[in-house]
Amino acid sequence: MKGKRLIISFLVLLALLLSACGSPVQTDTSTQHPVEALPSPESSQELMVIETAENLSSIAEEETEMRLRIGETEVSVRWEDNESFIALRELVADGPLTISMSMYGGFEQVGSIGKSLPRNDSQTTTQAGDIVLYSGNQIVIFYGSNSWSYSRLGKIIDRSATELAELLGNGNVEITFSLS
């Protein structure tokens, strides 16, 4: 995370330096031809630096994608873009986070994070595969449905409701969050 910020800061600084090195553009429109309206080489360099910074940012995010394993089974998750998820991801940046989960209500697994995270609670009717934060300090993974106020974290996208019930509905499990 710190390395990503350092790279982006460096590229922004480089873009600013390159823009300061450019030659002034003439603004006399009486003699200006359409060809002269094209971006200067300096502007093209600035655009290239900005595009490179955006590409590196995307690459850094992909390289540090958060992963979820339920027992020994890795699942694909579409993560939310909210404060709760960002805080969980920062917690996992220190190393993998393993949570002992317990079956509850015949439709979910619940486990304590051991720390409170920021909440983005909203009234939600969950579906199988939903991953939420409950009370700011508990992870819940659903293999059934429930309505309550939760902070959404993500959704398992590569398993059917039946597969999730088999994976989560036969006793307590351990889950592990990690960065790739």
136, burial (CB in 10 Å: exposed 0-12, middle 13-18, buried 19+): middle
What percent of the chain clears pLDDT 90, i.e. is strictly above it?
Answer: 64
**What's the domain range around 30?**
2-63
The enclosing domain of 139 has a CATH number of: 2.40.100.20
Q: Where are the beta strands (DSSP E) in 88-160?
A: 97-104, 108-112, 122-125, 130-134, 138-142, 147-156
Selected residue with higher pLDDT from 33 and 114: 114
Cβ contact 67:177 at 8 Å: yes
Q: Are residues 128 and 162 in the same domain?
A: yes
- Average pLDDT of the chain, as a whole number: 80
pLDDT at 51: 55
DSSP structure class, residue 73: E
Query: Hey, CA dihedral for 128, 130, 133, 139, is it positive or negative?
Result: positive
Cβ contact 169:143 at 8 Å: yes
Q: Which residues contact 86 (CB under 8 A, 6 or more apart)?
A: none
pLDDT at 123: 97
Q: Are residues 148 and 107 in the same domain?
A: yes
Q: Are residues 172 and 130 in the same domain?
A: yes
Mean pLDDT of 9-38: 47
Q: Is the pLDDT of residue 4 over 60?
A: no
38, 63, 88 — which closes off a domain?
63
Q: Are residues 17 and 38 in the same domain?
A: yes
Q: Are residues 70 and 58 in the same domain?
A: no
pLDDT at 180: 84
Q: Is 74 helix (H, G, I), strand (E, B) or coil?
A: strand
Cα–Cα dist 120/94, whole Å: 23
Q: Is the pLDDT of residue 142 over 50?
A: yes
What percent of the chain clears pLDDT 70, i.e. is strictly above it?
Answer: 64
Mean pLDDT of 81-88: 96
Q: Are residues 71 and 155 in the same domain?
A: yes
Q: Are residues 90 and 140 in the same domain?
A: yes
pTM: 0.66
Cα–Cα dist 126/113, whole Å: 20
Q: Are residues 114 and 172 in the same domain?
A: yes
pLDDT at 45: 56
Residue pLDDT, tens place only, 24-65: 444 444 444 444 454 555 555 555 545 544 544 443 444 459
- pLDDT band at 89; cut points 50, 70, 90: very high
Domain count, the chain: 2
Cα–Cα dist 145/165, whole Å: 11
| Largest CA-CA distance found in the chain, in angstroms, rounded | 80
